[in-house]
A and B are shown apart, each in its own frame.
Chain A
Amino acid sequence: MKKFLNNLKGPNLKNTLVDNAMYLILLSILVLVSIVQPLFLSTNNLTNILMNSSIRILIALGVSGALITRGTDLSAGRIVGVGAVIGGTLLQRPDYAAKFFPGLADMPVLGILLLAVTITALIGLVNGLVISYLHVPPFIATLGMQSILYGLSLIYTKSQPIGGLKDDYTYLATGRILNIPILILIAIAMIGVMWFLLNMTKFGKYIYAIGGNESAAEVAGVNIKWTKIRVYILAGLFYGLAGFLLAAKSGGATANYGIGYELEAIAACTIGGVSTAGGVGKIQGIVSGVLVFEMLKTSLQFLRVPSDLQYVAIGTVIVIAVAIDIRKYLAKK
């Protein structure tokens, strides 16, 4: 902080502003909206923003690996949907009248969570295999997967909404430990896991190397296919967890859960400085990107911006934020 203030005095002011553009944007949204609507700063509202962000962060963490390797994952939202319907259909109250599987015994939450993330990790594996071995560009491979999964989810749920979830399942979203919502704790833990993977493991270094220059990575002996496959498996795990929690949070699930989430996650990552040119992206950037995005959505509601206009505003902010943020990479070239 001291260093930050010192920088403000010197000729580095402009650089400091550009380097921290994302945090300044975050701060100015906060200040602006709380002046107009003091209620924005209420603990309730801030907790709400963080809880919404928690699930979004999981998805952004998953997609970030793909983005850093110069890939993308358009199936993210649909994999979230798969996680949600698996949790929803298998964890209903035993006495619920409209049970999806009427004869189903009371299932353990942890067991179903493991089942859900195993299935979504396998979906990630398929994405990775198609991208690595069939050489289908990630954009197309995951676009195809998006459609396949949507169809399968509709077939599986018979297009019916699922409700009546068990209390110890929904507790994941409503419960608190030491007065901190469990959802937020899970997000923090997963941020830690991803930070560790990216910064402290060979896998992480290879992700950046492949994104930085895939041909150079190949010459340097990096196993590109296997690294990419692991990126998409890891992403599947994150999406599955996100979907499982999303159903718990809303107390139900439909095949439509998570629709469009991949685009919001990609936008949040880009806002947070993950370069679509590959090789660049930090955890703190990804997290602040999601927070800026969620805060923006809530702010617009608080400012009573008509919902149609909100889309226009969000799109504009994404482009402006990235235009400002990208300057720090351009300048240092």
Chain B
Amino acid sequence: MDEPTSSLTQSEVNQLFEIINALKNLGVSIIYISHKMEEILKISDEVTIMRDGKYIGTWLAKELTMEKIIKSMVGRELVNLYPPKTNTPGEVSFEVKDLTSTNPKSFKNVSFSTHRGEIFGIGGLVGAQRTELVEGIFGLRSIKSGEIYLHNKKIEIKQPHSAVKHGLALVTEDRRGNGIFGVLSVRDNVAVASLDDFVQFHFMLNNAKLNQLAETNIKKLSIKTPSTKTKIQSLSGGNQQKVIISRWLAVNPDIFILDEPTRGIDVGAKYEIYSIMLDLANQGKTIIMISSEMSELLGISDRIMVMCEGRLSGILDRSEANQEKIMALATAYM
């Protein structure tokens, strides 16, 4: 099983584990791949750890602790799961007023505003319509009513093309589905959204500069790839995600929307992605991050908006937020 729980709810996960245990008792061997440490420790008898395509070792699960696993996965002691927060939110940068989807089962009457230099988390259970909301903002889904303001100016976004023009960026939840161009090179994957900046004499691309762009980003985000010409599909999930982030960095947007940015990514790469987010926030960018991982929401956000059944159920400040309050809001309308 390869990351079988990445889109399951907690009760579904428990159900899956019951099935796995039943199979185990019948004498079936199960190979279970996961980046979620708690799961690994809960379900396995023996654990094999790999890093960068190499075998690191095999241990009995009862001999392992979370720290030991992380250490072997990252190759060094990882003291903190989250980088220290250094950003300070400024004035309002982006505002959504009373946004309602054309689909009556999707998001309705959502209003929120975000600030420069802020990491704005969006939490909720699977099915809370968070992805639909940000895709609606980005012009990928149709909207019945509502307004969007960027730097206090009203903007119209009918399609992703205009969202990008206004300085919005979206790292989607489904990396394979609408993130990467699997058969294209790392270079083309990085460059696709910012090609306008590389046109010379009005029609011709400067391929040397495109290579440079890719190489700079590979270094800056320490993307592990044999070359800029490598097809992105042969990279690991974490490195693919960093390529997609580079794609948007090249456009230099003001508002970054990240939908489950660390799903299916190992702890080392997660830390690097958090660092990039903080870095961007320090530069005065706004980060809107959807996450289903409670600890991630609490660890990196300045404020957390929680949704339930398509409606906004509350916005918590970092200082007052905790797991119980988020859970209560996530189930508020159920």
- Residues in chain A near residue B159, CB distance under 8 A: 218
User: In the assembled complex, which residues on chain A have CB atoms less than 8 Å from the CB atom of B165?
Assistant: 221
Interchain CA distance A208-B164 in the complex, whole Å: 20
Q: Is there contact, CB below 8 Å, between A219 and B138?
A: yes
Q: Is A282 an interface residue (CB 8 A)?
A: no
The answer to whether B179 touches A216 (Cβ under 8 A) is yes
B140 A218 Cβ-Cβ under 8 A:
yes
A176 to chain B, nearest CB (A): 32
Question: Pick the contact of B161 from A208, A213, A222 — CB < 8 Å?
Answer: A222
Closest beta carbon of chain A to B29's beta carbon, Å: 27
Count of chain A to chain B residue pairs whose CB atoms are closer than 8 Å in the complex: 80
CB distance from B256 to the nearest CB of A (A): 13
B227 part of interface (Cβ distance < 8 Å) = no
Query: Residues of B contacting A295 with CB < 8 Å?
Result: none
A221 to B184, Cβ gap below 8 A? Answer: no
| Contact A275:B183 (CB < 8 A) given known A209-B188, A221-B193 | yes
Chain B neighbourhood of A213, CB < 8 A: 178, 180-182
Is A220 an interface residue when CB atoms closer than 8 A count as contact? Answer: yes
| A205 partner residues in chain B, CB cutoff 8 A | 188, 191-192, 195, 205
Q: Which of B127-166 contact A (CB under 8 A)?
A: 138, 140, 159-161, 163-165
Contacts of A218 in B (CB 8 A): 140, 159-160, 178
* Distance from A269 Cβ to chain B, minimum over Cβ atoms (Å): 16
Question: Which residues of A from 173 to 231 have beta carbons under 8 Å from B?
Answer: 199-202, 205-206, 208-209, 212-213, 215-223
Also in contact, A219 and B140, with CB within 8 A (given A202-B196, A205-B188, A279-B183): yes
With A205-B188, A205-B192, A219-B140 as known contacts, state yes or no: A279 contacts B181, CB within 8 Å.
Answer: yes
In the assembled complex, the Cα of A222 lies from the Cα of B233 at a distance in Å of 20
Counting chain B residues whose Cβ lies within 8 A of the other chain, the interface size class is: 20 to 34
Instruction: Answer whether residue A280 sits at the interface, using C-beta atoms and an 8 A cutoff.
Output: yes
- The chain B residue sitting closest to A329, CB to CB, is B183
Q: Which residues of A contact B195 (CB under 8 A)?
A: 202, 205-206
**Contacting residues, chain B, for A200 (C-beta < 8 A):** 204-205, 207
Q: Which of A201, A202, A332 contacts B231 (CB 8 A)?
A: A332
Q: Which of A200, A201, A220 has the most CB of B within 10 A?
A: A220
Residue numbers in A under 8 Å from B172 (CB-CB) = 219
A117 CB to closest chain B CB, in angstroms?
Answer: 20
Other-chain contact of A209, B161, B164, B181, B196 (Cβ < 8 Å): B181
Indicate if B6 sits at the interface (CB-CB under 8 A): no
A-B complex: 9 closest residue pairs judged by Cβ atoms: A221-B164, A212-B181, A215-B178, A279-B183, A220-B193, A202-B195, A212-B184, A216-B178, A213-B181
Residues of A within 8 A of B (CB): 199-202, 205-206, 208-209, 212-213, 215-223, 275, 277-280, 329, 332-333
Knowing that A205-B191, A278-B183 touch, tell me 5 more A-B residue pairs with CB under 8 angstroms: A201-B205, A219-B140, A219-B172, A221-B164, A280-B183
